[in-house]
Amino acid sequence: MPWRDGTGPPWWHGKFRGCGYRLTASRQAILDVLSKTSKHLSAEDIYLKVHKIYPAIGLTTVYRTLELLVQTGMVFKFDFGDGKARYELSEGPRSIGHHHHLVCTGCGRIVDYTDFIDDEIELLNQTEKGLSKKYNFKITNHLIQFYGLCYRCQNIK
Amino acid sequence: MPWRDGTGPPWWHGKFRGCGYRLTASRQAILDVLSKTSKHLSAEDIYLKVHKIYPAIGLTTVYRTLELLVQTGMVFKFDFGDGKARYELSEGPRSIGHHHHLVCTGCGRIVDYTDFIDDEIELLNQTEKGLSKKYNFKITNHLIQFYGLCYRCQNIK
DNA sequence: TTTATTAATGATAATGATTGTCATTAACAT
DNA sequence: ATGTTAATGACAATCATTATCATTAATAAA
């Protein structure tokens, strides 16, 4: 399956049909928005962006589509503790764009990092294997976040 | 500082005074409940349990106390994707009770695991050190969750 | 191609966890 | 013992997310 190699249709085209879902304009628009950002968008952020391109869309559809995308593993849903969920396109824990987060508990700032990812991934693979066997889980993804204070919040009294 | 060694007052007594907070009956009751469970309680779960011992307490106070406990690092707030936050007493990522979670995306079942923790922790320490330096973050905690399907959900069509 | 089937959609209302308000109470420093 | 002020509880308000339901449109069937 072509994964964003620039040739042919976007990598997600086949994903829907295969599962019996329809590839609609709304869904394409949402995937488009997600694939063109590196930000951590909330459902409403996504709604607003999609709305510019495709004004007919409703917020409900955004929520519904995101749920579907999360279920099929195409999108990962994050919680950074600010009361709304954030969504990122997920090409799986082994993909190139995969990263983890550093979360400032003072101001909510989020830093994506890919440093150290290689070592982490290797260990995580092992852990995954062990956990899968012991608990009979079929593991599909993982979430790693570090919490702390960013340089700014360290210096605020 | 005594950390639940069984002698003297509960380990958290000093935590409050030191920060200028008052150690009230509500707060003690909430900490008591949290320290006596290994479940992943929501704010309402906690409210109901505390209410039995200390019926005067209000739900608002539970939320406020939990927020305080999270801020001071005594409690960790989790999101397992079911719409409500869960709280666990945190003695920090190096403590004995520290564990990570396996989350079933099918039914929401949560498995705590401590297996592999030692290797994980060692790598996480290194990563933490590297990240701290590079991004100038003062890291205080981390969150690790694996997502997948439990044995039951794997066999449901 | 036309038509039938049914998933997908949008508008709107409903839900429910969490937060804000404010008068009252109680910890604890003095 | 008393004053200061943080903490509390009842209640209202907020706001992200979900449910409802009539309508539309993507795909299969003819």
- Picking from A132-146, B7-21, B31-45, B128-142, which range would have the lowest pLDDT averaged per residue? B7-21
Question: Do β-strands A85-89 and A41-42 pair in parallel, antiparallel, or remain unpaired?
Answer: antiparallel
pLDDT digits (tens, 9 = 90+) for B82-135: 999 999 998 778 888 889 999 999 889 999 999 877 888 888 899 999 999 999
pLDDT digits (tens, 9 = 90+) for A8-64: 345 676 677 777 789 899 999 999 999 999 899 999 999 999 999 999 999 999 999
Chain B 106-125 residues in 7 Å CB range of strand D: none
CB contact under 8 A, B140 and A116: no
pLDDT digits (tens, 9 = 90+) for A56-98: 999 999 999 999 999 988 999 999 999 999 999 987 778 888 8
Instruction: Judge whether residue A17 contacts strand D, using its CB and a 7 Å cut-off.
Output: yes
Domains and CATH numbers, chain B: 1-91 (1.10.10.10), 93-157 (3.30.1490.190)
Q: Which nucleotide is nearest to B56 (CA to C1')?
A: D9
Q: Which nucleotide is nearest to A24 (CA to C1')?
A: D26
Torsion-angle region of A4 (φ positive above 0: left; ψ -120 to 50: alpha; else: beta): left
pLDDT band at A156 (very low <50, low <70, confident <90, very high): confident
Instruction: Look at residue A6 in the predicted model and tell me its pLDDT.
Output: 36
Residue B30 has pLDDT above 90, yes or no: yes
pLDDT digits (tens, 9 = 90+) for A117-139: 778 888 889 999 999 999 999 99
Instruction: Look at residue B104 in the predicted model and tell me its pLDDT.
Output: 94
In chain B, residues with a C-beta closer than 8 Å to the C-beta of A116 are 126-127, 130-131
Three-state SS letters, chain A: CCCCCCCCCCCCHHHHHHHCCCCCHHHHHHHHHHHCCCCCEEHHHHHHHHHHHCCCCCHHHHHHHHHHHHHCCCEEEEECCCCCEEEEECCCCCCCCCCEEEEECCCCCEEEECCCHHHHHHHHHHHHHHHHHHHCCEEEEEEEEEEEECHHHHCCC
Residue B7 has pLDDT above 50, yes or no: no
Specify whether the CB–CB gap between A57 and A51 falls below 8 A: yes
Specify whether the CB–CB gap between B56 and B86 falls below 8 A: no
CB contact under 8 A, A142 and B142: no
Distance from CA of B155 to the nearest CA of A (A): 11
Instruction: Judge whether residue B50 contacts strand C, using its CB and a 7 Å cut-off.
Output: no
Q: Give just the sign of the alpha carbon dihedral B26, B29, B31, B34.
A: negative
What is the rounded distance in angstroms from the CA atom of residue A156 to the CA atom of residue A119? 34
DSSP B107: T
In chain A, residues with a C-beta closer than 8 Å to the C-beta of B105 are 71, 140
